Structure 1
Amino acid sequence: MDDGLRLTDLRILRDAAPMLELDLHVPPAAIVSLMGPSGVGKSTLLAAITGQLPADFTLSGDIQLNGRHLRPLPAQLRRVGILYQDHLLFPHLSVGGNLAFGLSPEVPRKQRRARVEAALHDIGLDGYHHRDPETLSGGQKARVAMMRMLLSNPDLLLLDEPFSRLDKALRDQMRQLVFAFARDRDLPVLLVTHDAEDAQAAGGPVIQLTQISR
């Protein structure tokens, strides 16, 4: 049975100084919000889970996702999807090419095009397949980045302030889309945010991280 995300005795040090200590369980279909001041280690924690922790940090403890130990695995094998406040679309690919990048290489070519077109429809961008990402508005880029991540079929969603630069109407729409996707697929979600409205919309536990005394 899927068990979601488990962080056990997780400890992160920066230049040998303690930064973050955490035990956490995020069950399938649950959304846990992490809040706290800048520099407390929220984004650093997400980097540890994805396997992209910078060299000046030291990590100890266990990270499990549905019973798999993630720490020995390279980032591309962890099946973790992450969405940032910066959209990070590939400038050398079209909008459709960006979405197709999220699909597994095993998806046949004909099905890839159909999946991309369906995804464009779901985010209200019908006819945008061949568009240059640089011609999109900020809200459109956000929708493409979100859908590209979702098309990769992750086992865990990490959200690093992904709604912070959107206007209120689009922010509400994006929250509903991402949270509904996760719950429909029983995915655990870890949301980093400074916005209490994000945490309230998520509807799950809120963990306030604080600086470790040194």
Structure 2
Amino acid sequence: MQDFARANSPTRSKSLMLSDVRIRLAGRTLLALSATVMPGEILTVMGPSGSGKSTLLAFAGGFLDPAFEASGKVLIGDEDLTGLAANRRHAGILFQDPLLFPHLSVGGNILFAIPQSVSGRRARRELAEQALDEVGLAGFFDRDPETLSGGEKARVALQRVLISAPRFLLLDEPFSKLDTALRQQTRDLVFFKARASRLPAVLVTHDEADAEAAGGLVIEIGREGDG
């Protein structure tokens, strides 16, 4: 039987470096920053709407809209990812919405993300069920995602990301649409999992409570006088 923790082994974790990243739109600089995020650390980038927070994640993940001009590098360890397609960067991404596939069951959503290196129907199902059990969703494998609460959907989305064996995490305000109690619970879970998996993570948010809970370096962009 495959083990969920082993499938997401921290031994391969390396630091994430954003080197001299500069993003422009229509000749205007939205952001300029450099940072190194060590395994298990969370870099928080804060700023108001329109400040370029999400474009930073798009640049790091390899899916930046061509309307933007970008320079700088994204590195994992010594490996330069800047010229690679998004699917070759192996970024794990959480958005504001869980974006679960409605045509798949809860378990089907998890199975979809399991790497092909895990072979055998039984082994893949056991791994998916273990992932659900780890976040209090034992027995949810055959459930329709539409029957889940917001917090349950967020937990499925998180486990789907982690089971894909990402090299780093990109968190695009993933707590902003949850109510206060769920936001705290989900925030704690996501940050705990990021640290336990020894993955470097970049969080973008406008919520100071997110930054405080993340506990790492905070970079503010888009404030008066920036850029």
Does the pair score TM above 0.5? yes
The residue number in structure 1 matching 2:81 is 70
Q: TM-score, normalised by structure 2?
A: 0.88
Look up the equivalent residue of 2:203 and give its one-letter code.
Answer: L
Look up the equivalent residue of 1:78 and give its one-letter code.
Answer: R
In the alignment, the residues of structure 2 paired with residue 19 and residue 77 of structure 1 have an alpha-carbon distance, to the nearest angstrom, of 26
1:47 counterpart = 2:69: no
Q: Is the 8 A contact 1:12 1:60 kept in 2?
A: yes
CA displacement, residues 152-180 of structure 1 (integer Å, 9 cap, x when unaligned)? 11111111111112233322222222222
Q: Is the 8 A contact 1:85 1:164 kept in 2?
A: yes
Q: TM-score, normalised by structure 1?
A: 0.93
1:17 counterpart = 2:24: no
Task: Give the 5 Å matches for 1:193-208.
Answer: 193-208=205-220
Look up the equivalent residue of 2:131 and give its one-letter code.
Answer: A
Give 5+ residue unaligned stretches, structure 2. Answer: 1-11
Instruction: Give the direction of change, closer, same or farther, for the CA distance of 1:91–1:18 in structure 2 (3 Å limit).
Output: same
Q: Pick from 154, 162, 165 the counterpart of residue 150 of structure 1.
A: 162
CA displacement, residues 90-131 of structure 1 (integer Å, 9 cap, x when unaligned)? 111111010111210111222111111111111222221111
In the alignment, the residues of structure 1 paired with residue 178 and residue 50 of structure 2 have an alpha-carbon distance, to the nearest angstrom, of 23
Task: Give the 5 Å matches for 1:134-173.
Answer: 134-173=146-185
Quote the offset at 1:2 in angstroms: 5.8
Number of aligned positions between the proteins:
214
Quote the offset at 1:13 in angstroms: 1.3
Range 134-143 or range 97-106, more displaced: 134-143
* Runs of 4+ displaced beyond 3 Å: 211-214
CA displacement, residues 169-207 of structure 1 (integer Å, 9 cap, x when unaligned)? 322222222222222232111111111111111111111
1:60 aligned counterpart, secondary structure: strand
1:130 counterpart = 2:142: yes
- RMSD of the TM alignment (CA)? 1.8
The residue number in structure 2 matching 1:176 is 188
Q: Is the 8 A contact 1:34 1:193 kept in 2?
A: yes
1:13 aligned counterpart, secondary structure: strand
Range 102-111 or range 74-83, more displaced: 102-111
